[in-house]
Amino acid sequence: MAADLERALQSVSDGVREIVLDSPFARALAPDHLRDATLLYPASGGKHLRSALLLWSCGALGGDPQAALPAAAAVELYHTWTLAHDDIIDRDDLRRGGPSLHAAFRERAAELDAADPAHYGLSVAILAGDVQHAWAIELLAGLADRGPDPALVLRLVRDLEGPVLRAIAEGETRDLQFAHQPVEAVSEDDILAMIACKTGALFAFAAAAGGAVARGALDEDPQVAALRDFGRLAAIAFQLRDDVLGITGAEEQLGKPIGSDIREGKRTTILRRAWIHASPDEREVLSRALGRHDADPAAAAAATEVLLRLGGVEHTEALARDHLHRALQRLDALPAGRHRDLLHALAAAMMDRSR
């Protein structure tokens, strides 16, 4: 299955990249910096997990994935705008093995002799995220050209820009606010609810949208509902695994700096678990790096060692496996076949990864 999954994912990537990079929308973007910024993440690869989820969910309910391709490209672009703005908020200078958007255009500010390169980079990244957001909607609305009923397409647009967007923004805001609260004030349920919003909502939408294109309706279809649950639960497993990699992964594999989650003060289930079992001395070690953007590598490494020693990573791995298990159970509601197998393999691979 692994080789089959890889081939199928490659085919999704190729289809999405073709729609995005060859589009009239991209060609019409000006000036150069705005076009380059808007295309930086879409052109740089990415795993296209959300696109695959949408297309295979469509196939699993008997639809034609080809007809759903604009929607698959739309969820991918929707994801990239949240990355562009999130990287500003989290001050992440690395993304996908290269500079994040605001960091890349901080460098290119030199071409304009800009007085404040950091502010120029931030400005271009805000605007490019806004363009990606609009582009995603433009693509989703264009789905009607491939057959789906305009009323269903409007329903998908309203779902994405209503409840899904609210969940993403709520999750982002809570994530930001949690970092300013005492570690013990944020419960594990708070963290899991935040992840369900910030990461789960868009995965759930992608799966449900694929199913809806196949069925011609979004609501009141139990198999579409099963796909939505599957997407949400697999996304939570994915994010928990991501938090683990944020602690144990290597910079070159992750494409982002080691210790950045700790320096940003991110409230993960890893940190929470370790904190409640930590001695005063161990809390002191954690506090020297936690939420400190200027923490040196030694302080970040010492904090990481405490997180590992006190079982924070182990506990979060178990939580992730539990969510994956529940996600896979939901697939039982779908007809057996190649696309259901691909969804199964995709969710398993989202957990079993090193980047």
Give the residues lining the site for a second copy (CB under 8 A). 25, 28-31, 33-34, 81, 85, 88-89, 91, 112-115, 119-120, 122-124, 126-127, 129-131, 133-135, 137-138, 141-142, 144, 149-151, 153-154, 157-158, 160-163, 165-166, 169-170, 172-174, 176-177, 180-181, 291
Angstrom distances, CA of residue 144 to CA of 17, 36, 121, 151, 263: 20, 28, 36, 9, 45
Residue 119 neighbours by CB under 8 Å, 6+ apart = none
**CB of 5 or CB of 169, closer to a second copy:** 169
Measured CA to CA, the distance from residue 345 to residue 9 in angstroms comes to 11
φ/ψ of residue 99, rounded to 5:
-65, 145
> Are the C-beta atoms of residues 301 and 286 closer than 8 Å to each other?
no
In the complex with a second copy, the residue whose CB is nearer, 121 or 211, is 121
Minimum gap (Å) between residue 193 Cβ and a second copy: 11
The nearer residue to a second copy, 227 or 290, going by C-beta atoms, is 290
CB of 195 to a second copy, least distance (A): 16
Check: CB of residue 224 under 8 Å from CB of residue 61.
yes
Runs of H (alpha helix) within the chain: 2-21, 24-27, 32-43, 49-60, 69-89, 101-108, 117-141, 150-159, 165-178, 188-195, 201-215, 222-248, 251-254, 260-263, 269-276, 280-287, 297-309, 312-330, 338-351
Q: At closest approach, how far in Å is the CB of 218 from a second copy? A: 13
CB of 123 or CB of 248, closer to a second copy: 123
DSSP string, 215-239: HT-SSS-HHHHHHHHHHHHHHHHHH
Buried b (16+ CB within 10 A) or exposed e, 340-353: bbbbbbbbbbbbee
Nearer to a second copy, 220 or 294 (CB): 294
- Rank residues 56 and 120 by Cβ distance to a second copy and give the closer one: 120
CB of 177 to a second copy, least distance (A): 6
Looking at this protein, which amino acid is placed at residue 81? W
Q: Which is nearer to a second copy, 110 or 318 (CB)?
A: 110
Q: How far is the CB of 62 from a second copy (least distance, A)?
A: 24
User: Least CB distance from residue 201 to a second copy, whole Å?
Assistant: 12
CB-neighbour burial class of residue 311 (10 A; exposed 0-12, middle 13-18, buried 19+):
middle
Residue 176 one-letter amino acid? L
Q: How far is the CB of 86 from a second copy (least distance, A)?
A: 9
- Residues 167, 201 contacting (CB under 8 angstroms): yes
Are the CB atoms for 154 and 242 separated by under 8 Å? no
Burial of 290 (0-12, 13-18, 19+ CB in 10 A): buried
For a second copy, which is the closer residue by CB, 59 or 148? 148
User: Closest approach of Cβ 44 to a second copy, in Å?
Assistant: 20
If the CB atoms of residues 208 and 346 are measured against a second copy, the closer one turns out to be 208
**Closest approach of a second copy to the CB of residue 112, in Å:** 4
